[in-house]
Chains A and B, each alone.
Chain A
Amino acid sequence: MAIAQAVETGKAGHQAHGRDHGHPAGFIRKYIFSTDHKVIGVQYLLMAMLMSVVGLGLSLWFRVQLAWPGKAAMTPEQYVAIVTMHGTIMIFFVVSLALSSGLGNFSIPLQVGARDMAYPFLNMLSFWIIVPASAIMILSFFVEGGAAAGGWTAYPPLSALSGFGKVPRGSPGSGMGQTLWLLAMALFIVSFTMGGLNYVATILNLRARGMSLMRMPLTVWTYFVAALLGLLSFPALTAAAIMLLLDRHLGTSFFLPSGLVVSGQQAANVGGTPLLFQHLFWFLGHPEVYVLVLPAIGIAFDVIAAFSRRPPHGYKTSVWALLIIAFLGMIVWGHHMFTSGMNPFLGKYFSIATLLITAPFAVLGVNLLASLWRARIRFTTSMLFALGLISAVGTGGIGGLFLATATADLHFHDTYFVVGHFHLMIGVVTMTGTFAGIYYWFPKMFGRHMNETLGKLHFWGTFIGAFALFVIQHFQGFGGMTRRYFEYSADYVQPALALNPAVTWFAFLAVGAQIPFFFNFFWSMFKGKKAEANPWEATTLEWTTATPVPHGNWERLPVVSGKPYGYAEGANGDAHRMQNAEA
């Protein structure tokens, strides 16, 4: 069998590498243009941390405007640009990079028992495409007209009104800023697609001997499903982006409708359908939520198993739930567009299909909770974040029920109810999962522990701040506070606006809580308590190799002999059996 050969060749390969002992590759090959999945994983994490400074900084800036109008020194045009860039950066350049690319790169080969990704060079290329993508996204602030201001969803007509040729200019940010936004996103899609190809090929073809699909850790399962979802849904956005670029720069009318008058200028475009873009965008956009949320849940399963000393409840049902979520996730995009005037029968379909997702999601939630039942929980920082994730999945998920119901959504659409809901899901669930993963794998990454006191400070600040601010936003949405507004004047919204200073203070708390995390991350690399090879007494394969992990990951590739979670059930929860333990 191919995998068995890999074991042998891996051994031979390592011996071949042995010729290079004592001749370390240069700094650039080791740390800059490295093909090692672990280095690339950390590079992604560092890039995400850098981009988070920008993304979170922008959020505080516009939160000041919302809480104390006029005090934030920005124009309305700048406000929408800042909101647009906050959303884009946080979703694609922070959460995607840290959770999907960063932790995925680090953990997948180690958890499946591979020496590296299937295509290490492609992996390196994926990262190095992200670097110019990030730079272009940031630099777009400094071009004429400023950064893109069409929202992170880049809906036309606004995003298509470029001001080039006969196409009128929609807003200052609709010019070069939006072009650079599209260019950066195109590079991101290329990188993310190459990463997804690598993940699937690694998981399908490079698993260690004995690692059947149903013996894979749930983290790997979630990355696998997420990668497939991404690969099948991103082409829709690619097609939309191509048509949008043609509309913007070459005067086609895919999305720009007839009779468009902008600042007194009649556009020459005829017959385009802006709604088409919305369909294409959300055909990617909704699966993208699961691309990000599912791996966070997968990490929580692994972390909760290690710190509750019990196998996750219902492994098989969780796997099936993941697959069902993936399938349903591809066919429910229209629930983002209930107010677009769609046929009521179509709305009913999208409502029902979306509500159906509740069932497999409830399976995941119940399995996460049931994993804790009568467990001897170790309250590490990583575990606290995993528990926080369960809470966020529940709370955010309930908001989703309201929005999935077309009749309710007609009221909530484009209000802060939506903002609160998606921040709980795509912000809090994803980041609690990411932090759980970082605190969990940090000892394997760097051979040292992160400081637990600072970690708990980080957790409580993040959790209280983020939870409070996003839950309050639900109530502001109930009160009719619409999103993307620079200022409000209507009387009915005043009670909701009165909550804005509190929301902003909680935002400061949540963002401020990242300071101890940043300090902890870098300080612990050098000064943290030294970690053993398996400090958490966890049972999956990454804990069977030395720390720091050698190049090629193992001297001899592991042979899997059992399930991933060999924690003893029953009263004595301390016994554990590694996944490669001999029978």
Chain B
Amino acid sequence: MLMRIEAWGREEREPVELPESVRAETWQTLTYLMIAGGIMLFTTFSASYLVRRQSADWAPARLPDLVWVNLAVVGAASVTMELARRGGASARRWLGSTIALGVLFVAGQAIAWRQLAAQGVFLTSSPHASFFYMLTAVHAAHVAAGLAVLLAALRRAGNGQLGLCAAWWHFVGAAWAWVVMLLTFF
């Protein structure tokens, strides 16, 4: 068998390189597919939330006011991301600001968790609380993925290829806005 597939491995040192323009297209495909998958994930959680809230034991907890501050932070991060995406001399600075705001957002979420816990509202306290903790954790994972990509982009900032990072970041921001609306008004 090894003889038969010998030829496949021969010469292999590095993966076959693609031209930059094609690579940019594959990144675009990958990013939009991941956003589509992310939308499906949050849609599924939202549908589950709307079904679960029909039960007799549904008792929404009051969310800490901090979640609204966090919403403002993630909104500001979207603005700075957009400024970074447009390029120019200060692109790198705006990108750094976006990362800082992203970290601030995650820290704010952690504080919101602590505030809620201090009120005696834990994961199993009520289905509404379960959804709050779960959705914030799942969302934070998406933010973390975004931060990792932004950090990688910061290392080689200046080439102006931030469009896809911005797309993911705006998705993450919009997802948080949706989660807050869902948990507050539904």
A399 interface contact, C-beta 8 A: no
Stretch at the interface among B17-25, B112-120, B148-156: B17-25
Q: Please pick, from B10, B29, B124, the residue contacting A205 in the complex, using a CB distance under 8 A.
A: B29
Stretch at the interface among A23-31, A143-151, A349-357: A23-31
Complexed CA–CA distance, A120 and B9 (Å): 13
Q: Contact at A525–B1, with CB atoms within 8 Å? A: yes
B9 (CB) vs chain A CBs: closest residue: A30
Q: Distance (Å) between the CB of B120 and the closest chain A CB?
A: 16
Complexed CA–CA distance, A115 and B15 (Å): 10
A250 (CB) vs chain B CBs: closest residue: B123
Tell me which residues across on chain B come within 8 A of A447, comparing CB atoms.
Answer: 4
Tell me which residues across on chain A come within 8 A of B52, comparing CB atoms.
Answer: 254, 271-273, 276
Tell me which residues across on chain B come within 8 A of A197, comparing CB atoms.
Answer: 30, 33-34
A230 (CB) vs chain B CBs: closest residue: B37
A200 interface contact, C-beta 8 A: yes
Q: Contact at A6–B1, with CB atoms within 8 Å? A: no
Q: Contact at A206–B2, with CB atoms within 8 Å? A: no
Q: Please pick, from A205, A240, A551, the residue contacting B22 in the complex, using a CB distance under 8 A.
A: A205
Q: Contact at B9–A39, with CB atoms within 8 Å? A: yes
Q: Contact at A446–B29, with CB atoms within 8 Å? A: no
Complexed CA–CA distance, A36 and B5 (Å): 11
Tell me which residues across on chain B come within 8 A of A200, comparing CB atoms.
Answer: 29, 33
Q: Contact at B22–A25, with CB atoms within 8 Å? A: no
A552 interface contact, C-beta 8 A: yes
B65 interface contact, C-beta 8 A: no
A9 interface contact, C-beta 8 A: yes
Q: Distance (Å) between the CB of B134 and the closest chain A CB?
A: 6
Given contact pairs A9-B17, A29-B12, A254 touches B33 in the complex (Cβ within 8 A): no
Tell me which residues across on chain B come within 8 A of A9, comparing CB atoms.
Answer: 17-19
A118 interface contact, C-beta 8 A: yes
A246 interface contact, C-beta 8 A: yes
A583 interface contact, C-beta 8 A: no
Complexed CA–CA distance, A17 and B17 (Å): 10
A204 interface contact, C-beta 8 A: yes
Q: Contact at B51–A273, with CB atoms within 8 Å? A: yes
Q: Please pick, from B5, B15, B29, B44, the residue contacting A121 in the complex, using a CB distance under 8 A.
A: B15
Count how many chain A residues have C-beta atoms less than 8 Å from C-beta atoms of the other chain. 78
Given contact pairs A30-B9, A550-B7, A446 touches B15 in the complex (Cβ within 8 A): no
Tell me which residues across on chain A come within 8 A of B130, comparing CB atoms.
Answer: 246, 252-254
Q: Please pick, from A35, A116, A119, A242, the residue contacting B138 in the complex, using a CB distance under 8 A.
A: A242
Complexed CA–CA distance, A118 and B25 (Å): 10
Q: Please pick, from A3, A236, A246, the residue contacting B44 in the complex, using a CB distance under 8 A.
A: A236
Q: Contact at A548–B29, with CB atoms within 8 Å? A: no
Name the residue among B52, B123, B124 with the largest chain A CB count within 10 angstroms.
B124
Given contact pairs A20-B11, A235-B44, A243-B48, A5 touches B21 in the complex (Cβ within 8 A): yes
B127 interface contact, C-beta 8 A: yes
Q: Please pick, from B5, B17, B30, B36, the residue contacting A42 in the complex, using a CB distance under 8 A.
A: B5
Tell me which residues across on chain B come within 8 A of A30, comparing CB atoms.
Answer: 8-10, 12
Stretch at the interface among B53-61, B80-88, B90-98, B100-108: B53-61
Complexed CA–CA distance, A239 and B6 (Å): 42
Q: A21-B11, A232-B37, A239-B45 are in contact. List 7 more A-B contacts (CB 8 A).
A: A2-B19, A2-B22, A29-B9, A200-B29, A200-B33, A252-B127, A445-B5
13 contacts between A and B (CB under 8 A): A9-B19, A13-B16, A25-B9, A196-B33, A200-B33, A246-B123, A254-B48, A272-B52, A273-B55, A522-B1, A548-B8, A551-B9, A551-B11
Q: Name B residues whose Cβ lies closer than 8 Å to a Cβ of A.
A: 1-13, 15-19, 21-22, 25-26, 29-30, 33-34, 36-38, 40-41, 44-45, 48, 51-52, 55-58, 123-124, 127, 130, 134, 138
The 6 closest A-B pairs by CB, nearest first: A30-B9, A271-B57, A446-B4, A235-B41, A235-B40, A271-B55
